Amino acid sequence: MTESPAPKTKIAVLERNRIVGLRIARVMCATSGLGPVPVVDDPADLHDVLAPEPLLLGCDAVDLELALEWIRERYPTMSLVVWTSGSTEGALRAALTEPRLSSVIGWPSFESMPRPWEIGLAVRRVIQPHASSPRLSDLLGWGATVLKWRPRTSDDRDRVVGEVAHWAERAGANARLAERLAELAHELLMNAMYDAPIDADGQPRYAFDRQQNIVLEETEVPTLRLGTDGVHIAVQASDPFGRLRRHHVIEGILRGLGARHESLLPGAILDTSGGGAGLGMLKIYSAGAVLLVDVEPGATTTVTSLYDLDVNPREFRSLPASLHFFQRTGADPAERTTRGSVPFPR
């Protein structure tokens, strides 16, 4: 009796290193409900294992161009997750034009595989696009401590930033890292308090002058969280507007990287609208090892930055940072109302 061919699958891994591929596939299998996740190390074999309408392909950045060609020309239903231990800039540029590339995972060179929880997060958000966003405690180890603030005024913002630095040091961060996390908290709160709020006509309320002292309405107040499990430390800001979009994030990061490469700030590549130099997103992206942006259009934007407390600061600067951008699928209120219809300046 001839052996029947293996069933084709919805999720697959393309990884030239077979051992790494098998490790990643185990995580994808567990996160997707124990469905089969084959690993191929030769791109020519990929078509043989994929179902006609696959959901997800995970691959190393070395195969990114080929994977992009496949999802655009062969597999219109397939999303893409890419990992790299080198520069993420090329993958970010690809993600700017291809919305199905939802996650660019920075692979720390000292780890045997990309962070498993990042792979699991990326898979779960692709296969369950309507699911609730994970809480900050879900992204940290069991028993994590999470602190929360709801700053309403400019003075509240400054007080919270100081408290972030204090509690970060209590959590084990050195003075320099605590200062960087405080700067991150300040940037996140400036975006949430000044750039995000709009009036009933969809016009920005405070973005025209980020130096002014403001008092937010109760319905405009953001939430800032600081969480730690003793290994990682995270800062998260949520606003009740849901106006941040994919291009705002990626274009901001790439614009900042362009300025960094030039070692100067040429006006042609800077966005000075909304009172900022257009480098806020790069500051946020560079502050941690993982940046997670989760948007429910017209309802909420949540931006989370995570940092590994055990990584040497000098080593951290050379590591690639991850970016995950998830937008809740379904009808976008910004398409039907003025809420969220104006550009997000940062």
What pLDDT, in 10s, does the model give residues 197-206? 999 888 999 9
Whole-angstrom distance, CA of residue 202 vs CA of residue 237: 22
Asked whether residue 146 carries a pLDDT value surpassing 90, the answer given is yes
Last residue of a domain, one of 127, 157, 185: 127
Asked whether residue 272 carries a pLDDT value surpassing 50, the answer given is no
Which CATH number do you get for residue 48? 3.40.50.2300
Whether residue 149 is found in the same domain as residue 50: no
Whether residue 91 is found in the same domain as residue 114: yes
Helices vs. strands in the chain: H and E counts, helices first: 11, 11
pLDDT in tens, 237-260: 999 999 999 999 999 999 998 877
Q: Judge whether 301 and 241 are in contact, CB under 8 Å.
A: yes
In degrees, rounded to 5, the angle at the alpha carbon of residue 25 between the alpha carbons of residues 42 and 86 is 70
Note whether residue 32 is domain-resident. Answer: yes
pLDDT of residue 221: 98
Please tell me which residue, 334 or 169, carries the higher pLDDT value.
169
pTM for the model:
0.89
Note whether residue 198 is domain-resident. Answer: yes
Whole-angstrom distance, CA of residue 43 vs CA of residue 48: 10
pLDDT of residue 130: 87
Last residue of a domain, one of 88, 109, 127: 127
Whether residue 147 is found in the same domain as residue 73: no
pLDDT of residue 8: 84
Note whether residue 344 is domain-resident. Answer: no
CA distances from 255 to 246, 287, 321 (A): 14, 16, 16
pLDDT in tens, 16-68: 999 999 999 999 999 999 999 999 999 889 889 999 999 999 999 999 999 99
Note whether residue 343 is domain-resident. Answer: no
- DSSP secondary structure letter of residue 281: H
Whether residue 18 is found in the same domain as residue 62: yes
- DSSP secondary structure letter of residue 173: -
Whether residue 47 is found in the same domain as residue 174: no
Overall number of domains in the chain: 2
Element (H, E) at 177: helix 175-190
Whether residue 176 is found in the same domain as residue 308: yes
**Residue 284 belongs to domain spanning:** 136-336
Note whether residue 6 is domain-resident. Answer: no
Whether residue 177 is found in the same domain as residue 304: yes
Please tell me which residue, 262 or 164, carries the higher pLDDT value.
164
Q: Judge whether 65 and 42 are in contact, CB under 8 Å.
A: no
Whether residue 145 is found in the same domain as residue 271: yes
Last residue of a domain, one of 103, 127, 151: 127
> In the 3-class helix/strand/coil scheme, how is 178-235 assigned residue by residue?
HHHHHHHHHHHHHHHHHHCCECCCCCECCCCCCCCCCECCHHHCCEEEEEECCCEEEE
Q: Are strands 232-239 and 300-308 parallel, antiparallel or unpaired?
A: antiparallel
Q: Please give the single-letter amino acid code of residue 293.
A: V
pLDDT in tens, 205-220: 998 889 999 999 999 9
- The pLDDT-based confidence of 191 (bands split at 50, 70, 90) is very high
Which CATH number do you get for residue 308? 3.30.565.10
pLDDT of residue 15: 97
Range with lowest mean pLDDT among 170-184, 299-313, 321-335: 321-335
Note whether residue 234 is domain-resident. Answer: yes
pLDDT of residue 330: 55
Whether residue 154 is found in the same domain as residue 98: no
Whether residue 214 is found in the same domain as residue 299: yes
Give the residue-averaged pLDDT of 96-120. 95
- The pLDDT-based confidence of 344 (bands split at 50, 70, 90) is very low
Whether residue 56 is found in the same domain as residue 88: yes
pLDDT of residue 6: 57
Note whether residue 341 is domain-resident. Answer: no
Nearest alpha carbon to residue 242 among 299, 169, 319: 299
Whether residue 225 is found in the same domain as residue 81: no
Note whether residue 4 is domain-resident. Answer: no
Asked whether residue 343 carries a pLDDT value surpassing 90, the answer given is no
pLDDT of residue 262: 64
Q: Judge whether 49 and 72 are in contact, CB under 8 Å.
A: no
